[in-house]
């Protein structure tokens, strides 16, 4: 039977995954739409069922350490997968970089933003993801600090629980601008964005790792992420690849 895809926000029911149940893949919020496209492509040539568990990387990490029945993590950083590895939650040797994220300044306005937009701070609200749990939020804080505009924007920051909520703030008009992933901006039917120079923030290295006792379906899906087909999907949706790293 061709697999299905289900998206949920977080898993709070703990226990071990059953072979008869969908393989639960935890996915960082910025990568959710790309992950859906990858699952659809994976299903074209594989049997099984996959359920995407969407949330901020920090929140997903915490759920996994508390016993959530997740079989793999597609994080928005390399820190949490490495930590899970060190703490004995993963299948040894399964961690790899599946994407390199890009940070952009997004607005729904018709005017294309740039560095002067942040420097002038002539806006009321700038949305970012929670920097303590979301790597794109941490990158946003780093970029703002390096640009030297923190004193101008600190009282204008609106924090979303993850990068998806930060994007929604800009989309809904709650904030005029948002520092989010390029993948989200590319999916928008309206608005403009400015890609921040990568010397303004540490590389957003997004690692994947298999959790101990992962099912064959979860293992096959992470192997699929390394394929040319999957790499093409990832690249077209606003990410760089590990092979392209300078």
pLDDT of res. 16? 46
Q: 36 and 77: one domain?
A: yes
What's 21-84 look like in SS3? CCEEEEEEHHHHHHHHHHHHHHHCCCECCEEEEEECHHHHHHHHHCCCCCCEEECCCCHHHHHH
How does pLDDT run along the chain (246 residues), one tens digit per residue? 334 444 444 433 344 444 458 899 999 999 999 999 999 999 988 888 899 999 999 999 999 999 999 999 999 999 999 999 999 999 999 999 999 999 999 999 999 999 999 999 999 999 999 999 999 999 999 999 999 999 999 999 999 999 999 999 999 999 999 999 999 999 888 999 999 999 999 999 999 999 999 999 999 999 999 999 999 999 999 999 986 554
Output the pTM of the full model: 0.84
Which residues constitute the domain of residue 131? 103-195
* Structure-token pair, residue 85: 């590895």
pLDDT of res. 48? 82
Alpha-carbon dihedral sign for residues 6, 193, 60, 92: positive
Q: 19 and 94: one domain?
A: yes
pLDDT of res. 13? 37
| Cβ neighbours around 223 below 10 Å, total | 13
Tell me how far CA of residue 245 lies from CA of 18, 227, 229, in angstroms: 38, 18, 19
User: The domain spanning residue 111 has which CATH number?
Assistant: 3.40.190.10
Q: 127 and 160: one domain?
A: yes
Per the structure, how many domains does the chain have? 2
* Structure-token pair, residue 157: 């920051």
pLDDT of res. 34? 96
Q: 114 and 43: one domain?
A: no
Residue where one domain finishes, among candidates 176, 195, 214: 195
Q: 212 and 231: one domain?
A: yes
Q: 93 and 108: one domain?
A: no
Specify the DSSP class assigned to residue 90.
B
Q: 16 and 70: one domain?
A: yes
Residue where one domain finishes, among candidates 195, 212, 229: 195
Q: 12 and 90: one domain?
A: yes
* Structure-token pair, residue 226: 């390394």
Helix ranges (DSSP H) in 135-199: 135-147, 150-153, 163-172, 182-187
Tell me how far CA of residue 209 lies from CA of 33, 66, 77, 81, 161, in angstroms: 19, 17, 11, 6, 23
- Give the percent of the chain with pLDDT over 90: 85
Chain centroid offset of residue 224 CA: 18
């Amino acid at each position: 039977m061709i697999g299905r895809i289900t998206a949920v926000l977080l898993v709070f029911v703990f226990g071990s995954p059953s072979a008869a149940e969908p393989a639960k893949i935890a996915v960082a919020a910025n990568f959710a739409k790309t992950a859906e496209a990858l699952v659809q492509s994976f299903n074209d040539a594989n049997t099984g069922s996959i359920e995407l568990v969407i949330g901020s990387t920090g929140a997903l990490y915490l759920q996994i350490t508390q016993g959530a029945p997740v079989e793999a993590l597609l994080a928005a950083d390399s820190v949490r997968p490495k930590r899970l590895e060190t703490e004995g939650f993963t299948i040894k040797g399964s961690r790899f970089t599946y994407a390199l994220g890009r940070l952009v300044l997004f607005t729904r306005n018709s005017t294309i933003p740039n560095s002067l937009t942040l420097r002038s701070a002539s806006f009321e609200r700038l949305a970012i993801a929670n920097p303590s749990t979301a790597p794109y939020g941490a990158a946003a804080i780093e970029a703002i600090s390096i640009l030297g505009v923190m004193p101008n924007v600190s009282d204008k920051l609106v924090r979303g629980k993850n990068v998806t909520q930060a994007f929604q703030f800009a989309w809904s008009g709650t904030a005029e601008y948002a520092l989010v992933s390029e993948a989200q901006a590319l999916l928008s039917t309206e608005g403009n964005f400015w890609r921040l120079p990568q010397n303004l923030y540490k590389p957003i290295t997004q690692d994947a790792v298999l959790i101990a006792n992962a099912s064959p379906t979860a293992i096959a899906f992470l192997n699929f992420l390394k394929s040319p087909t999957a790499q093409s999907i990832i690249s077209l949706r606003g990410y760089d690849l590990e092979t392209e790293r300078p």
